[in-house]
Amino acid sequence: MSGPTNAEAATLFREIADLLDVLGEKFKPEAYRRAARSIESLTEDLGKVAARNELRSIPGVGDAIEEKIRELLATGHIAYHDRLTHEVPPGLLEILRLPGLGPKTARRFWVELGVEGPAELGAAIDAGRLDGVKGFGAKKIEQMRAALAPAPAGVSGARRPLEEAYPIARAILRALREHAPVQEAEIAGSFRRGRETVGDLDVLVTSEAPEAVFDVFSKLPQVREVRLRGGTKETVVLTNGLQVDLRVVEPDAFGAALQYFTGSKDHNVRLRSLARDRGLKVNEYGVFRGDDRVAGRTEEEVYAALGLAWIPPELREDRGEIDLAAARKVPRLVEERDLTGDLHVHLASDAKERDVERVLDAARARGVASVGFVIAGVGADGARIRFSDDARARLAQRKAGDPRIERAIELTPGADPKPFASERPDYWIVRAGTSPPSPSVPGFVEGTRLLAHLSVPEEGPGDGLRAWLEAVHAGAIAVEVGPGRDRLDSRGASLARSLGVPLAIPLGLGGSEDDPTLAVALAFTRRAGAERNDVANARGPAATAAKTARPRRSA
DNA sequence: GCCGTTTTCGGCCCGACTGTTTTCAGTCG
């Protein structure tokens, strides 16, 4: 018996918001969207929160929405939603999602033309029914025609994983810094906040020559089309469908713009009302008292002008971080320079001594004190992993200047650990399935140390993940955070942290320059509010080595 | 519909850009 997932609940509330939009409601839609965002970022099932009578503690959930959540949990639907979908043709929601078309236009199509969906809209355009209608010129009609055309294969405007956007973002920044007349260049938006997915990229630069910057930007090889271009802003769409906004600001406003465009929306709304209370105004150009700009060059300045400590982008979600900043109690989140070891380095099965050397060089260059190699086991695809004798020999050498070397065995669920026992590894890496957890974790033998792979189900962390985390806890060195299907995202990391399970951040040692592993893992871990002591490979090799597992038998 | 060391009512971010306009409405972020 499983109720609606958090993701399903959020989708329902978003639909209510869209429907209310079309009906011309003013503030309710935003209220429902706010609740939807909060529900999505929960680290446990709505049902659990409801059972504890704590729904009202979810930001954006008041009397009315609490009642609707309870109704949804009890009956599987929301009568209000049913009523609205009955009132408004569902096809209008699809029209609403077309770029350049909003609630006002969708409503006009419906009321004035009787158009109730994208197909009818297309037919109306083809039949010339929009010609001469007030507000619809030739360009607007052409724009709609384009929006209605099916997207080419492989091109999608959907949100995509952070790790997919990462190399693209790096390449854009690199190109602008090298070839355009810019001083500063950063990516803002949800990318900078380290969200699991990004809908677009917000690039921010300072420059005396915006036109020259736009010229370079428009001609990047990844750019498919320029969607709009003004004096301070240009929007393009890449060949893969990702939208990128580039904004040029003056240096004195860079911090304010970075703050403003990093968001999140909820964080900024809260910041602005705080400013209003103090007789100040915040926008992307600075913090103003009357016409005087009192801050703007750096983010620190902006927050300080509002009486706040600087807040790391990963925490800017209006989940209490502003109160912490006011009280000077913002946590010192784990940083890249805190990382002292990599617990999980894979090499190809035909890897030679020089490949090991390359990883050890990377470790030394980074100042990393310990490296754990996967020397044998069963990989994600079921294939046997075995370190070559040549590579093993290098591990055994222990040259002066080497980081401490550890040897790990990696296993998939159901794989038999016995054939690998003679390897006497320093620890086992266990790859878990999704929920429900199996109690028989391979490798759970006396004194075993574990590094666990756990994935967060798409609908969010639920009881299954919690049970898994509790199951591995006793023997765990840590649970890995990072990109991909078998590591924790920020919500999973947050749940693990609340249960006292240490986290591990993979460094991607020996990977390419644009390898997103470390950056993404670090962002997720920071979004979970983790400090250095929450991270196993940030506490120094001594601390990691000293952590011994409680003896435990496999069930 | 939500929210409150100004409040239980009256606010709710605000500026850029586009297209269709003779001064602005709609969309977007």
Which nucleotide shows the minimum CA-to-C1' distance to residue A273? B13
| Per-residue model confidence as pLDDT tens digits over A357-366 | 999 999 999 8
Supply A181's token pair: 């007349």
Q: If you measure CA to C1', which residue is closest to nucleotide B6?
A: A277
CB A239 within 8 A of CB A155: yes
The C-alpha atoms of residue A207 and residue A249 are separated, in whole angstroms, by: 7
Q: Provide the CA A208 to C1' B13 distance, Å, integer.
A: 28
When the pLDDT of each residue in chain A is averaged and rounded to a whole number, the result is: 87
Q: If you measure CA to C1', which residue is closest to nucleotide B14?
A: A283
Tell me the C-alpha to C-alpha distance, in Å, between residue A143 and each of A93, A130, A352: 18, 13, 57
Q: Provide the CA A154 to C1' B12 distance, Å, integer.
A: 40
Domains, chain A, in order of start with CATH, read: 6-148 (1.10.150.110), 160-249 (3.30.460.10), 253-326 (3.30.210.10), 336-545 (3.20.20.140)
Which nucleotide shows the minimum CA-to-C1' distance to residue A263? B29
The C-alpha atoms of residue A282 and residue A280 are separated, in whole angstroms, by: 7
The C-alpha atoms of residue A388 and residue A393 are separated, in whole angstroms, by: 9
Which nucleotide shows the minimum CA-to-C1' distance to residue A26? B12
| Per-residue model confidence as pLDDT tens digits over A443-457 | 444 455 677 777 777
Per-residue pLDDT tens digits of chain A, which is 555 residues long: 468 899 999 999 999 999 999 999 989 999 999 999 999 988 889 999 999 999 999 999 999 999 999 999 999 999 999 999 999 998 999 999 998 899 999 999 999 999 999 999 999 999 989 888 888 888 899 989 988 988 776 677 778 999 999 999 999 999 999 999 999 999 999 999 999 999 999 999 999 999 999 999 999 999 998 988 999 999 999 999 899 999 999 999 999 999 999 999 889 988 888 888 888 888 899 998 888 889 999 999 999 999 999 999 999 988 888 889 988 999 999 999 999 999 988 888 778 889 999 999 999 998 899 999 999 888 777 788 888 888 888 988 888 889 999 998 888 777 777 788 788 888 888 777 543 344 444 444 445 567 777 777 777 788 878 887 887 766 677 889 999 888 999 999 999 999 999 999 999 887 788 899 999 999 999 999 999 999 999 974 444 444 433 333 332
The C-alpha atoms of residue A32 and residue A299 are separated, in whole angstroms, by: 30
Which nucleotide shows the minimum CA-to-C1' distance to residue A266? B13
Q: Provide the CA A255 to C1' B23 distance, Å, integer.
A: 34
Reduced to 3 DSSP states, what percent helix, strand and coil does chain A have, rounded to the nearest 5?
A: 45, 15, 40
**pTM exceeds 0.75:** yes
